[in-house]
Amino acid sequence: GEDVEQSLFLSVREGDSSVINCTYTDSSSTYLYWYKQEPGAGLQLLTYIFSNMDMKQDQRLTVLLNKKDKHLSLRIADTQTGDSAIYFCAESIAGGGFKTIFGAGTRLFVKA
Amino acid sequence: AAGVIQSPRHLIKEKRETATLKCYPIPRHDTVYWYQQGPGQDPQFLISFYEKMQSDKGSIPDRFSAQQFSDYHSELNMSSLELGDSALYFCASSSTVGNYNEQFFGPGTRLTVL
């Protein structure tokens, strides 16, 4: 079945690293994504990783994928107060197109 | 760069009324997706279109219908609105040329049903 799970809350101090974890169930996922949503705003694609990769780094963001365990993580280095938002893990499922299945979102609180 | 455009941005309707949401994809994108995000919820896939044909269907109620037009814009029609339809509705687009898996999301339409 299609299911994406992630913890609901994470609190870190400014300057620390944040690690948001996610597990998914569909082994046919081709791409896995991290989206950021600020209050009342739309979805911002932060980064994505192809399922045959195990790591991707993009400036302060590092994505790690353990395909065997179906585990995805997002590490934000030097977390800033502007990083406070909800972070959605998502997977794309091939059907007629590539619909995206989202996790419930992790709310990141960054304390100054 | 042009992004996905959705209109209206906000919409207030009463129960049992109808609503039409519009989505204008990024130029040269041929695939459109609709998602519904209830308060405090994650976005749920509703329906998608490729080249004006429905390509996939998710948890879209029978009261809703959608279509993609020849200019690739899409409309989501919602009838007999219920209080539970209050949500943020996102449209996303992608292109079969290039990275098809990269969906670009619009800012959303916030629908409030009273």
Q: Among residues of chain A, what percentage have pLDDT more than 90?
A: 62
- A100/B92 Cβ within 8 A: yes
Q: Does the pLDDT of residue B1 top 90, yes or no?
A: no
Helix (H, G, I), strand (E, B) or coil at B12: strand
The beta-carbon neighbor of B106 closest among A31, A42, A96 is A42
Is the confidence at residue A94, as pLDDT, over 70? no
Higher model confidence: residue B114 or residue B2? B114
Torsional sign, CA B2, B6, B7, B9: negative
Residues of A in contact with B90 (CB under 8 A): 42-43
pLDDT by residue (tens digit) across B62-104?
A: 999 999 999 999 999 999 999 999 999 999 998 877 666 678 8
Residue of B nearest to A92 (CA): B101
What is the radius of gyration, based on Cα positions, of chain B? 13
Paired tokens of A77:
């280095």
Determine whether the interchain pair B105/A43 forms a contact, defined as Cβ–Cβ distance below 8 Å. Answer: yes
What is the per-residue DSSP string for A38-98? -TT--EEEEEEEETT-SEEEETTEEEEEETTTTEEEEEESS--GGG-EEEEEEEEEESSSE
Nearest-angstrom CA–CA distance, B47 and A80:
36
The Cα A85–Cα B66 span in angstroms is: 31
| Backbone φ, ψ for residue A37 (5° rounding) | -130, 120
Does the pLDDT of residue B36 top 60, yes or no? Answer: yes
What is the per-residue pLDDT for A97?
Answer: 62
Q: What is the tens place of the pLDDT at every residue in B84-93? A: 999 999 999 9
Chain B hits for A43, CB-CB cut-off 8 Å, are 43, 90, 105, 108
